[in-house]
Structure 1
Amino acid sequence: MQELFNHIRGYYHLSDNALHVLSDSFEEVVFSRNDFLLESGQVCRHLYFIKHGAVRGYYTLDGKEITHWFGFENDFVTSFHSFITGQASVENIQLLEGSILWKISKDKLNSLYNAHHEIERLVRIAYEKYYIRLEERFVNAQFKTAAERYESLIQQSPHIIERVPLGHIASYLGISQETLSRTRSRL
């Protein structure tokens, strides 16, 4: 749990009391490679923190998987739309590696918001960071070439190349595996 607290301190400094209540509210869960945190059609009821491992979020369109995000150590992950609205998710969240995560339910988190406003502020800051990443991804997809998107990926997140299958990376970049292979060989 120390990893979680160290990461939280990077977002916002919480009082010892708030950290104590959080430590009592998170539950450690272990998943195997290819397990699902969430499948399309389910309502997401938990926010997760990745202690160790890797996950991906993807949609299925016309039988094709379209990866739209990855999560690694020290990331908070969930299906944000489903988690916030309580509606069924249209995305799947799948483990890419055997992973250890910490989870907290939405109900528990809501009760903590009411009792500890600093926790509410912490989660708001985490949501803001998620939104910024989402907007950066949107801008990259709209205004950069496939080669520029790949170069940005290896500059900003080189660990993805080592830990994620190339098919998922190609999908994430919005290109075919063949285009990814050609791009990689040119670089």
Structure 2
Amino acid sequence: MESDVSDSIDLVLVLGSITPLSAPFQERITNQVLTETFKKGHILLRPGEVARRIYYIKKGFLRAYIIDENGKECTSWLMGANDLMISVYSFFTQRPADEYIEVLDDCILQSITWNQLQSYYADFKEGNYIGRVLTEKYYILSEERSIFMRTKTPEERYKILLQQHNQIEQLTTQSNIASYLGITRETLSRIRSKMLKTRLAS
């Protein structure tokens, strides 16, 4: 793991795209944001640890997953460049997590701590507004995923995933993709085979 603060302006630009930032707020974030690189396979968070940081993905691909009572990995989130990644429950309650966060592709992550985030809310009116916008965005994503899992067929889920992450096949394993879609690896294999035959026939 390496640290580099020279790229910290990127997160400022992202937040500034939501609402104009005051000079003091920009300076605070620029001074406090931590930029790090992590290699594929690195575990950012493990069950029992408290999520101290919220991560902005400048480059790379991450997943969050739990291991169920049968020892099976169940992928709950897949996030790529320009997304935020946290263990929601652990970060906002500052209690131990139940999930893992894993680096699936070499990445550059920028992060701030829970305490820093609270200071932005307390000290800057735009901090509160940005927090609300981002919370709404990821709540909506969570709701969309819940609906997606309940109402879409396995093939529809796979096609939507490909639209969202067109390089997903190169970024992670078939097992991880299947667990994210809530299907078996065998079912995923049949879907992929069917789609290939359809493309070849057209």
Residues 51-71 of structure 1 deviation map (CA, whole Å, 9 limit, x = unaligned): 111110001002111001011
**Unpaired runs of 5+ in structure 2?**
1-7, 196-202
Change (3 A) 1:55 1:16: same
Deviations for 1:2-32, whole angstroms, at most 9, x for unmatched residues?
4323322333332233222111110112212
- Identical positions, percent: 36
* Contact in 2 for aligned 1:11/1:126 (Cα 8 Å): no
> 2:119 maps to what in 1?
111
Unaligned ranges ≥5, structure 1 = none
The answer to whether the Cα contact below 8 Å between 2:9 and 2:30 also exists between their aligned partners in 1 is: no
Q: Report if the CA contact (8 A) 2:57-2:82 is conserved.
A: yes
- Runs of 4+ more than 3 Å apart: none
What is the CA–CA distance in structure 2 between the aligned matches of 1:2 and 1:163, rounded to whole Å?
27
- Shift, 1:158, TM fit: 1.5
Cα deviation, residue 39, structure 1: 0.3
Greater Cα radius of gyration, structure 1 or 2: 2
- Is the Cα–Cα contact under 8 Å of residues 54 and 112 in structure 2 kept in the other structure? yes
TM-score normalised per structure 1: 0.94
Number of residue pairs aligned between Structure 1 and Structure 2: 187
Question: Aligned partners of 1:84 and 1:178: how far apart in 2?
Answer: 37
Question: Structure 1, residues 115-153: CA drift from partner, whole Å, max 9, x if none?
Answer: 112112212211111111111110010011101111111
The aligned runs of 1:23-42 (5 Å cut-off) are: 23-42=30-49
> Do residues 153 (structure 1) and 170 (structure 2) align?
no
Moved more, 154-163 or 29-38: 154-163
- Matches of 1:153 and 1:164, distance apart in 2: 13
Which residue in 2 is equivalent to 1:87? 95
SS at match of 2:76: strand
Aligned pair partner of 1:22 in 22, 29, 43: 29
TM-score by length of 2: 0.87
Distance 1:169 1:17 in 2: 43
